[in-house]
Amino acid sequence: MCFNLTPIESGLNATGANADVDQYALRPTSNARGTLLIYLNGSGGSPRGAVISPDTNVYATARAQGLHVLAVSYRSDDAVAQLCATSVGAARDTCFLATRTSIVTGVAQPGAAAAVQSIALHEGVYARVGAALVALNVRDPEGRWNQFYDASAGRDVARALRWSSIMVAGLSQGGGHAALLARLHPVQRAVMFSSPCDATALGEPSAWLTWSASAWQTPSANLRGFGSSRDTLCTTHVAAWDAMALPAANRADDAVVCTGETGHGAPIACADNAARWASLFAP
């Protein structure tokens, strides 16, 4: 089963960034695992960008593994690296984390880039996910989309979502947000494609990426990374995986780069990587 719905159709404000962009929702018709995959696109992209063909794409692969899938449209037009490019030293590190937190929560944070200081709650990832799940449960009650949130939590989406039944994944900027969600919440798994990319001017991973049991709600064993050694856009993703303490078995930098694709986009855009997608989402 597949559904398209925009944030507007989910009941959110029409003035929000990318509020009229289709979000994709898929669910298995059998052997459902009771796990939701939230997918976040990269900078300047949309949920449509991960669909390289109707049958061969990250979403269809995740559904074949028994996952419910929700690819949300959110405020992602500007690259976080560019938004924080003018910040230097400690302010740069602060900018990365504060800007990402603003985009995820829909609440502007101190130290965030100027471009997101005007963000509205309904533009944040939390609001987009929460509204979509509620709308999907009305449209498709047999799909049991309500198993992934606690309606009694009301408007507090971060508290309502049942994070232990949720995987998060994304490409580039979206993968960085997936990492942040894994830091903030005890997700079942986080999958980072060609990401995270937050780094200092010297090419060192941003401090917020350093995994510790006290700072992260998700164990490092539940983190996954998939990229390409031919990635010239996000050259620090492997160093970021090191900082996040990803086990060797949970990472691979050998994505096939199909003709016409870039090393940065290939991990989700090249169909020759489909078997790897399946392993990333497998039980």
For residue 238, pLDDT beyond 90: yes
pLDDT band for 24, please (50, 70, 90 cuts): very high
| Mean pLDDT, residues 3-8 taken together | 98
What is the predicted pLDDT for the residue at 137? 97
Element (H, E) at 225: strand 223-226
Q: Which of 90, 62, 72 is nearest to 23 (CA)?
A: 72
pLDDT at residue 277, rounded to an integer: 98
Look-up of token digits 């929702």: 25
Give all strands of the β-sheet with 23-26 in edge-to-edge order: 2-5, 23-26, 68-72, 36-40, 166-171, 189-193, 223-226, 251-252
pLDDT number for residue 89: 81
**d(Cα 19, Cα 11) in Å, to the nearest integer?**
10
The answer to whether residue 254 scores a pLDDT higher than 90 is yes
Report residue 227's pLDDT band, with 50, 70 and 90 as the boundaries. Answer: very high
Within 8 A by CB and 6+ apart from 195, the residues are 170, 171, 172, 173, 174, 175, 176, 178, 179, 225, 227, 234, 237, 240
DSSP notation for 247-269: -GGGEE-B----TT--TTTHHHH
For the segment 33-91, what is each residue's pLDDT rounded down to a tens digit?
A: 999 999 999 999 999 999 999 999 999 999 999 999 999 999 999 999 999 988 888 89
Residue 202 has pLDDT above 90, yes or no: no
**Is residue 206's pLDDT more than 90?**
yes
**What's 38's DSSP letter?**
E
Query: Which residues are CB-neighbours of 205 under 8 A, at least 6 positions away?
Result: 196, 198, 199, 236, 239, 240, 242, 243
pLDDT of 235 > 90? The answer is: yes
55 or 171, which is more confident?
Answer: 171
Give me the pLDDT at residue 256, please. 98
What pLDDT, on a 0 to 100 scale, did the predictor assign at position 86? 84
In the chain, % helix, strand, coil (3-state, to 5) comes to 40, 15, 45
Query: What is the set of domains in the chain, with CATH numbers?
Result: 2-84+122-281 (3.40.50)
